[in-house]
Structure 1
Amino acid sequence: MQPDLSQTLARDRHFLQTAFKNPKKFGGLPKVEEKYRKSHEIYLKRQAALPKPQYDGTLPVHERLNDIKAAIANHQVTIICGETGSGKTTQLPKICLELGRGTAGLIGHTQPRRLAARSVAERIAEELQSPIGETVGYKVRFNDNTSRDAYVKLMTDGILLAETQTDRYLTAYDTIIIDEAHERSLNIDFLLGYLKQLLPRRPDLKIIITSATIDAERFSKHFNNAPVLEVSGRTYPVEILYRPLHAADEDEAEIEIADAIVDAADELAQLGSGDILVFLPGEREIREAAEALRKSPLRRHDEILPLFARLSNAEQHKIFHPGGTKRRIVLATNVAETSLTVPGIKYVIDTGLARVKRYSARAKVEQLHVEKISQAAARQRSGRCGRVSAGVCIRLYSQEDFEQRSAFADPEIIRSNLAAVILRMAALNLGDVAAFPFLEAPDQRYINDGFQVLLELGAVEEAV
């Protein structure tokens, strides 16, 4: 009789199931039983050492703890929709640990950016009172800091996607949390389609999808009407002030942004103490604004802190663990919009711009454009200063401009060259791109262009 495989490691279950049906093929029953015993022992050892999370009860997500636990326990897919600052990113892995997840395999937790993966891992490890890399590890490009005994693994969605090539059924995990799904990057959309196909083959796998301004219904339908839980976020009011750049043309506006930031910082400083978070489209603009602030007679005594992906760990640590009495002005790209919470922020200055990658079907190249952000992104940004007390957000554009913007940003899949997706799908034998269960199917023209590029490079054959 086949023993209970629910108390073995997820990665061994498929093999054991097959081996117990036909032990001769795998060296006889004693060998198969030995393999089962080893897997069972490691499972029990992991179960015994499972971390015991504590909650301080200060985050909005704590009010829904029991509902979230029940939804995760009773459904294979759960969608958690919460405003920025609800605490879902750091608390969900702890809730999963409390439910005994992480025993048969890791709790995989994806973030859209490397910076977020690292800092979220540090934060969760801190809350579980464990050195980074032991109970909670992270893996980003060029850096894997996860021990064999880890329970939670933070990574970028690109890393999880890459792992599907060596671990088709993602058996290293018993739970996967896809965070910030509303960003709808190519990787996220691809993962959601991949997981939808994987779920029937991995009934033991739990999927949790979280987002801030999520189109919850669409996600729920994609996963066969999965339950949606709403978690409240911001608790303090935020006053919005519009200070548009009065410029004759766009070029002039670009030059004035750094000066407008200095003026806005001066205005906010008069309202009282508190740190300022400034949103800019990219690293170059951050450096220009930092220089302007350091030259400003009123701001030169403030601590000016740039925040972008290429920062060293030590510099990032300084931003997320503030000390000292100086006012801090943090200059960030949209990395600080949702994934990361910079502590102590009372004021926000929003340029209303972000760098966006777009594919030109005519020129057949991808270009990075500085574009206006959507209304949803603007709300995310202003929400960053309503965390510790009532806040003020200065938008460097007019209210009329805000009202004319699109409600949500375009998903990356409808503005990308699909050559990389087609190539990856071919490598994973996922079949026809047009038949893949994407949340939003890409334009057939873009699929054709992607194939054309690959044909020209000799990466695929005509028959594909």
Structure 2
Amino acid sequence: MAQRQPTSIRTRLDELHERLGEVMFHDRHRLAKRLGQLRAQLSRGDVPTERLEGLVAAVERSSQLRQQRAQRLPQPCYDLALPVVAMKDEIARLIDTNQVLIVCGETGSGKTTQLPKICLELGRGIGGMIGHTQPRRIAARSVATRLADELQCSLGELVGYKVRFTDHVRETTLIKLMTDGILLAETQSDRFLEHYDTLIIDEAHERSLNIDFLLGYLKRLLPKRPELKLIITSATIDPASFSRHFSDAPVIEVSGRTYPVEVRYRPLQIAEEPERELTEAVVDAVEELSRVGVGDVLVFLPGEREIRDCAEALRKHHPPHTEVLPLFARLSASDQDRVFQSHSGRRIVLATNIAETSLTVPGIRYVVDSGLARISRYSYRTKVQRLPVEPISRASAEQRKGRCGRLGAGVCIRLYDEHDFTQRDEFTVPEILRTNLAGVILRMAAYKLGSADTFPFIDPPDTRFINDGYRLLVELQAMDQKRRLSDVGRKLARLPL
């Protein structure tokens, strides 16, 4: 009998090994490690009955959770008017047959809300969540609300979201919306991102530091996680660079759902007339659009101060039933959500570039584009990171124009002339190429992403600037001469700057 017990336990361990394929991805490695420890204990002559029963219970719990998630998998309904839905079968085929897919879609194509549903229909989201990143908190929250509504569930159940200070995710959540910064932070506690079986990196064309860090991290991770699917979405802005980064991953293009948009150029200075203030030009443009027809107006401005100045001026020039709403990142969630609520009369939304691509303000017929944005830029001469107001790129201007023309024929008034437009940069320079690399190196060291010299950036920064960054960190005693993070460096890295 004593000889048969180890044999019986060995059989049960073999059965448990077979069942590891039925558990949640994030449990698999931990449970396999426990199983290996039990085998080693058994080989030494111990009979680990109690630990075996604990492992059996853990495998059963994880397996049951996966079964529950499979049973809760909804049957998505699609809005047939969205262009991405017309290509649903082809997108599904490409997701199924490739580890990485680049979805290039114009404004209004429906890629943000429909791609997670296509993934659900493929059976994704069971062994791990479908992680869906957005560049901004308001976008993560609004997209989660919209998806929950389309899947006819309460927010926080099948669809949840996590942003700084707010976490509406349960163990039964199938789709998790979050900022790209949240996913990057999760790499510290979940190095293989095993809580996910699919990742959608939305608005990747914005090329923020967080997005570039994630794309480099995922390039290294994907060979180690063959079951993980990666979908990168981008506006029609250089999708080939993403494809090259991921070994010529397939690119599928989806048209936008837009009506014709008339572009009118109304520069601040016209002929010999005195140059107008930006506030005056915005008031004149909105007045001109009010004579075109009914419909809401979206005004793009560079910052909060300009938004407040224009809001005050517009309220003086328009009747009481015209609603003027600001929209920028520092607004409270309740104030941000006002732009998504139904209303009567006319609404004028004054927004920063937060409304350029990452979220859709409903009901917009007209756009006023100041042609300006605050763009973070580091001066290597003065060693100062600044946030100057600069002309936007042509690609950003086209994105702004695309915000109207989704309900019917639209009008976009640009507060600069056509020659100015044609002389602008084609694309916005990626943040990694216009930021203080000392800060980048510090974050990479804190996140354990490796050396900036060897990290697989899409656009690697100049080696001279990398060396300057290391030199500054050594001067600040944030790193030692061997480029290792010091206690001072660890404290600096925790500062929310």
TM-superposed deviation, 1:160: 0.8
2:337 to 294, 314, 317: 317
TM-superposed deviation, 1:56: 2.5
Residue 375 of structure 1 aligns with which residue? 394
Cα 1:339–1:430 change in 2 (3 A) is closer
User: 2:322 matched to 1:302?
Assistant: yes
Q: TM-score, normalised to structure 1's length?
A: 0.94
Which structure 2 residues correspond to residues 276-425 of structure 1 after superposition, within 5 A? 276-296=297-317, 298=318, 301-324=321-344, 326-425=345-444
1:7 to 11, 15, 22: 22
TM-superposed deviation, 1:431: 2.8
Could you report, residue by residue, the CA deviation over 1:359-399 in whole angstroms, capped at 9, with x for unpaired residues?
11111121001000000000000011111101000000000
Could you report, residue by residue, the CA deviation over 1:135-184 in whole angstroms, capped at 9, with x for unpaired residues?
21111112222223211111111111111111111111111110000000
AA partner of residue 416 (structure 1): T
Could you report, residue by residue, the CA deviation over 1:49-89 in whole angstroms, capped at 9, with x for unpaired residues?
12222112121111011011111111111110000110111
Q: Give the match's secondary structure for 1:329.
A: strand
Distance 2:363 2:420 in 1: 29
Q: Please say if residues 102 and 175 of structure 1, whose CA atoms lie closer than 8 Å, have aligned partners that are also in contact.
A: yes
Residue 221 of structure 1 aligns with which residue? 244
Residue 149 of structure 1 aligns with which residue? 172
Q: Please say if residues 99 and 228 of structure 2, whose CA atoms lie closer than 8 Å, have aligned partners that are also in contact.
A: yes
Residue 232 of structure 1 aligns with which residue? 255
User: 2:229 matched to 1:179?
Assistant: no
Q: Please say if residues 181 and 214 of structure 1, whose CA atoms lie closer than 8 Å, have aligned partners that are also in contact.
A: no
Q: Please say if residues 241 and 392 of structure 1, whose CA atoms lie closer than 8 Å, have aligned partners that are also in contact.
A: yes
TM-superposed deviation, 1:451: 1.6
TM-superposed deviation, 1:101: 1.2
2:278 to 257, 262, 284: 257
- Structure 2: any 5+ residue segments left out of the alignment? 1-13, 42-47, 484-497
1:138 to 138, 161, 165: 161
Q: Give the match's secondary structure for 1:435.
A: coil
Distance 1:301 1:98 in 2: 44
Q: Please say if residues 293 and 300 of structure 1, whose CA atoms lie closer than 8 Å, have aligned partners that are also in contact.
A: no
User: 2:456 matched to 1:441?
Assistant: no
Distance 1:342 1:72 in 2: 29
TM-superposed deviation, 1:214: 2.9
Number of residue pairs matched? 459
**Quick check: 188-197 or 427-436, which moved more?**
427-436
TM-superposed deviation, 1:23: 3.2
Distance 2:439 2:146 in 1: 33
Q: Please say if residues 107 and 403 of structure 2, whose CA atoms lie closer than 8 Å, have aligned partners that are also in contact.
A: yes
AA partner of residue 224 (structure 1): S
Residue 62 of structure 1 aligns with which residue? 85
AA partner of residue 421 (structure 1): V
Distance 1:173 1:103 in 2: 9
Q: Please say if residues 417 and 449 of structure 1, whose CA atoms lie closer than 8 Å, have aligned partners that are also in contact.
A: no
**Quick check: 7-16 or 361-370, which moved more?**
7-16
Distance 1:20 1:48 in 2: 28
Q: Please say if residues 303 and 329 of structure 1, whose CA atoms lie closer than 8 Å, have aligned partners that are also in contact.
A: yes
Distance 1:419 1:37 in 2: 48
Residue 265 of structure 2 aligns with which residue? 242
AA partner of residue 105 (structure 1): G
Residue 122 of structure 1 aligns with which residue? 145
Distance 2:346 2:379 in 1: 43
Could you report, residue by residue, the CA deviation over 1:175-228 in whole angstroms, capped at 9, with x for unpaired residues?
111000000001100100000000011111111100112312111111111111
User: 2:473 matched to 1:458?
Assistant: no
Percent identical among aligned pairs is 60
Q: Give the match's secondary structure for 1:229.
A: strand
AA partner of residue 301 (structure 2): L
Distance 2:39 2:446 in 1: 33
| Two-structure CA RMSD over aligned residues (Å) | 1.9
Distance 1:279 1:439 in 2: 29
Distance 1:290 1:65 in 2: 42
Distance 1:400 1:288 in 2: 28
AA partner of residue 11 (structure 1): H
**Quick check: 156-165 or 403-412, which moved more?**
156-165
Q: Give the match's secondary structure for 1:47.
A: helix
Distance 1:430 1:114 in 2: 24
AA partner of residue 45 (structure 1): Q
Distance 1:304 1:313 in 2: 17
Residue 491 of structure 2 aligns with which residue? none
Q: Give the match's secondary structure for 2:458.
A: coil
Q: Give the match's secondary structure for 1:348.
A: strand
Could you report, residue by residue, the CA deviation over 1:83-137 in whole angstroms, capped at 9, with x for unpaired residues?
0110111111111111111111111111111111111111111111222222211
TM-superposed deviation, 1:432: 2.2
AA partner of residue 144 (structure 1): D
AA partner of residue 62 (structure 2): S
User: 2:192 matched to 1:169?
Assistant: yes
Q: Please say if residues 129 and 174 of structure 2, whose CA atoms lie closer than 8 Å, have aligned partners that are also in contact.
A: yes
AA partner of residue 62 (structure 1): V
